[in-house]
Structure 1
Amino acid sequence: MDKGFLKAGNPRTLLAAFLYFDVSFMVWVLLGPLGISISHDLHLNAGQKGFLVAIPVLAGALLRVVAGALVDHFGARRVAIGMQTLVIVGLAATWAAAPHTYAGLFPVALVLGVAGASFAVALPLASGWYPPQYQGTALGIAGAGNSGTALASLFAPGLAVLYGWVNVLGLATLPLLAVLIAFLFLAKEPPRRHPGNGIVAWLPVLKTNDCWALMFFYGVTFGGFVGLASFLTIYFNDQYGLAPAVAGSCTALVVFVGSFVRPLGGALADRIGGDRALSILYGIAAIIFAIIGVGLPTIWLAFPAFFLGMVTLGLGNGAVFQLVPTRFPRQIGILTGLVGMSGGVGGFYLASSLGAARQATGSYGPGFLAFALISLIALGWVSLCHRRWKAASPAQSSSLDELSAA
């Protein structure tokens, strides 16, 4: 770790952002690891399973825009405390109500979506303490909190077998409460915060090509990551006949590695540029998921492929968010919300499309092949952006900064 980085910001707040992000993501994707038990209890088909685990992902995506705007107005620390409290209360109420119908799980999905919106809070909390040269590393460390998705995959399937999936929702409030208490003591509001103007501030940003490019890039990298994190336990169980606990452990391992390489992706982007890093990573992702889509007959072949795929997507997540403060230095909160929203939408697409592909064709292959094609499209777009940004004059960059300040 660079000594300059350790002295440049606030390590306690960075740790608080990581912990908050970690437990929030743990509960955000909880329906995926619980999906095997839920589907057996409620007799769900493949399409219903895919849609169910995708709903919290979409809800979190949409709520990230709201969370990003709230951060610009009230500060990341205050918003984090309020959102964490809301999730704890919502999960406790769900556990008490004990829903046992497919429709009854939709309110649960909305509560979990609030946890997913933590992305737009944790990253500005960390980013506001660090100078531009360390943005990729700081955001990568905070963003490694998406490892919480692995914790859900590791523990939830086994706990559901022992205690029932409804009780697992209640147990999830315990780590949330512990982290909230730690957060109150560790986190400090960043010194650099630029108050936003609500929806008025979003419109000029949405008119820029860079905003839509970053949204699409993250929709592929993080969408792939969270979509797989939500669905792989079900996939491994259905495709290869793994027991729920074993399927969850396999998912947890690939998600862990995808989470913890995210800081490396940010550091790589700091060194060679986020656009160059993404050009390499999208090409690799397209190859890997095309191979998975064609079909791998055993778990011994599939597991290494998903392992490498998650490493690639995790590095890409860090690389994309190195570009956010670089292209929009004065509206990180809004951009984090917009870009984070697109990542969640990408995750909703992947998880639901895999279930739909299985329901319609009897195979998950078409869903993975479509994702490989989307990765190729991202490779072409980031290549175009690289040439445009390289050719941009300082005057154009100044204009972008002025737009971000509007």
Structure 2
Amino acid sequence: MNNNFWKAGHIPTLFAAFLYFDLSFMVWYLLGPLAVQIAADLQLTTEQRGLMVATPILAGAVLRLLMGVLADRLSPKTAGIIGQVIVIAALLAAWQLGIHSYAQALGLGVCLGMAGASFAVALPLASQWYPAEHQGKALGIAGAGNSGTVLAALAAPLLAAAFGWTNVFGLALIPLVLTLAIFSLLARNAPGRSPAKSVADYLKALKDRDSWWFMFFYSVTFGGFIGLASALPGYFHDQYGLSPVTAGYYTAACVFGGSLMRPLGGALADRFGGIRTLSGMYALAAICIGAVGFHLASSMAALALFVSAMLGLGAGNGAVFQLVPQRFAKEIGVMTGLVGMAGGIGGFLLAAGLGAIKQGTGDYQLGLWLFAVLGVVAWFGLQSVKRRWRTTWGSVTLTAARV
């Protein structure tokens, strides 16, 4: 990144958006690395465990739309503070009152969905400060808050083994409160923000076919990332008999790769074009996930393929959001909510679907292959629109960014 990027926007806000997103993702994902221990104590089936870890993803998907409306009408900073307070209150209640049933675990998952809705705050907050040619890098950095999943995957199983999984909710409050204070001090709303969008604006956006393409593309990249991140602790435990802590280490390696590649994916899209970058990432992810489905005897081989797939999905996340602001510059708040919601729904379907397929067939193979096929479909979908995009809104006569 050159000096022009660092001078183009507001660095304290970019850092605050990243930190807020990072810690929000950590708690949004918290039930995933704790799933094996919670399921053992609450005597959950594989399908119930899958639905438990998928519930925060679905709730986050729906709440992203609400948070997007709040960010439009109030401001991204104000919406972020409101969301963070709600998450802190939910964790405090879970810590003090405990989780004693499957229904209560699902209820906590719904509340943690507000943390997943941070997507609709962090990305517009950063995006509105930066010009078109730097959108990929700016949104890649803000979106690298996906790395919060690494913190949860590494720390949560260890802390649960040492102090009990209920106390992990209390320990998570410490960094969350600190982050709320930092975010409140550093984040600034961009000057000259677009007027608040109405419900009609959302309905209007849904009438544009490109909206649906972006929602589909992100449901595969981000949905694949967060869905696999939530399901992998259980997958490694079931498939290879790994302990919750070791399964957490394996999962952390996977999500670290995906998180690292999000800003790099945005930078690659700025350099080579979002369509070209995204096409390569879909191909990589589909090949690797398809290969994992062949009953690999070695857990290390499966780990290597999952890491490679997550690298592709993470970079794909950055590439999608290099393209979205080019196509919908004036509707970025609306589109962040819609596209983010679609990504969350994709993650819910993948995490819950893998659990249901494992429960029904005794194997994860069919679920993995179905997701790989979806990646292939997304690749062909991208090829079908690239010519139109590059000759209309992505034309060099209309934008300085590479599409």
TM-score normalised by structure 2 residue count: 0.96
Q: Distance in 2 between matches of 1:113 and 1:394?
A: 34
Q: Distance in 2 between matches of 1:134 and 1:192?
A: 18
**Counterpart secondary structure, 1:294:** coil
Q: Which moved more, 1:135-144 or 1:386-395?
A: 386-395
Once the two structures are TM-superposed, the CA of residue 343 in structure 1 deviates from its matched residue by 0.6
2:363 aligns with 363
Letter in 2 for 1:43: Q
Matches of residues 386-397 of structure 1 in structure 2 within 5 Å?
386-392=386-392
Q: Which moved more, 1:316-325 or 1:88-97?
A: 88-97
**Counterpart secondary structure, 1:172:** helix
Q: Distance in 2 between matches of 1:394 and 1:182?
A: 37
1:199 aligns with 199
Q: Alpha carbons of 1:378 and 1:393: their partners in 2 closer, same or farther (altered >3 Å)? A: closer
Q: Distance in 2 between matches of 1:394 and 1:215?
A: 18
1:154 aligns with 154
Q: Does 1:381 align with 2:381?
A: yes
Letter in 2 for 1:92: L
Letter in 2 for 1:18: F
Q: Does 1:56 align with 2:56?
A: yes
Once the two structures are TM-superposed, the CA of residue 354 in structure 1 deviates from its matched residue by 0.8
Q: Distance in 2 between matches of 1:17 and 1:252?
A: 22
Once the two structures are TM-superposed, the CA of residue 296 in structure 1 deviates from its matched residue by 1.3
Once the two structures are TM-superposed, the CA of residue 394 in structure 1 deviates from its matched residue by 8.7
Q: Distance in 2 between matches of 1:129 and 1:301?
A: 42
1:133 aligns with 133
Once the two structures are TM-superposed, the CA of residue 272 in structure 1 deviates from its matched residue by 2.0
CA contact (8 A) 2:327 2:393 kept: no
2:325 aligns with 325
Q: Distance in 1 between matches of 2:297 and 2:192?
A: 52
CA contact (8 A) 1:296 1:302 kept: yes
Letter in 2 for 1:283: A
1:283 aligns with 283
CA contact (8 A) 1:276 1:386 kept: no
**Counterpart secondary structure, 1:229:** helix
CA contact (8 A) 2:326 2:393 kept: no
1:401 aligns with none
Letter in 2 for 1:356: A
Matches of residues 46-85 of structure 1 in structure 2 within 5 Å?
46-85=46-85
Once the two structures are TM-superposed, the CA of residue 99 in structure 1 deviates from its matched residue by 1.9
2:14 aligns with 14
Once the two structures are TM-superposed, the CA of residue 36 in structure 1 deviates from its matched residue by 0.8
1:36 aligns with 36
1:164 aligns with 164
Q: Distance in 2 between matches of 1:331 and 1:339?
A: 12
**Counterpart secondary structure, 1:100:** coil
Aligned length: 397
Once the two structures are TM-superposed, the CA of residue 70 in structure 1 deviates from its matched residue by 1.2
Q: Which moved more, 1:202-211 or 1:183-192?
A: 183-192
**Counterpart secondary structure, 1:30:** coil
CA RMSD in angstroms comes to: 1.4
1:210 aligns with 210
Q: Which moved more, 1:90-99 or 1:367-376?
A: 90-99
Matches of residues 240-319 of structure 1 in structure 2 within 5 Å?
240-319=240-319
Q: Alpha carbons of 1:75 and 1:236: their partners in 2 closer, same or farther (altered >3 Å)? A: same
Q: Distance in 1 between matches of 2:230 and 2:26?
A: 10
Q: Distance in 2 between matches of 1:123 and 1:131?
A: 14
Q: Alpha carbons of 1:290 and 1:192: their partners in 2 closer, same or farther (altered >3 Å)? A: farther
**Counterpart secondary structure, 1:388:** helix
TM superposition outliers: structure 1 runs of 4+ over 6 Å: none
2:87 aligns with 87
Letter in 2 for 1:279: S
CA contact (8 A) 2:227 2:347 kept: yes
Once the two structures are TM-superposed, the CA of residue 393 in structure 1 deviates from its matched residue by 7.3
Matches of residues 84-123 of structure 1 in structure 2 within 5 Å?
84-123=84-123
Once the two structures are TM-superposed, the CA of residue 80 in structure 1 deviates from its matched residue by 0.6
2:177 aligns with 177
CA contact (8 A) 2:61 2:344 kept: yes
Identity across aligned pairs (percent)? 53
Q: Distance in 1 between matches of 2:7 and 2:321?
A: 22
Letter in 2 for 1:84: Q
Letter in 2 for 1:261: M
**Counterpart secondary structure, 1:261:** helix
Q: Alpha carbons of 1:192 and 1:276: their partners in 2 closer, same or farther (altered >3 Å)? A: farther
CA contact (8 A) 1:150 1:229 kept: no
**Counterpart secondary structure, 1:331:** helix
- Unpaired runs of 5+ residues, structure 2, are 399-403
Once the two structures are TM-superposed, the CA of residue 246 in structure 1 deviates from its matched residue by 1.1
Q: Distance in 1 between matches of 2:356 and 2:297?
A: 21
Q: Distance in 1 between matches of 2:191 and 2:248?
A: 41
Q: Alpha carbons of 1:46 and 1:74: their partners in 2 closer, same or farther (altered >3 Å)? A: same
Q: Distance in 2 between matches of 1:229 and 1:387?
A: 34
**Counterpart secondary structure, 2:195:** coil
Q: Distance in 2 between matches of 1:283 and 1:186?
A: 39
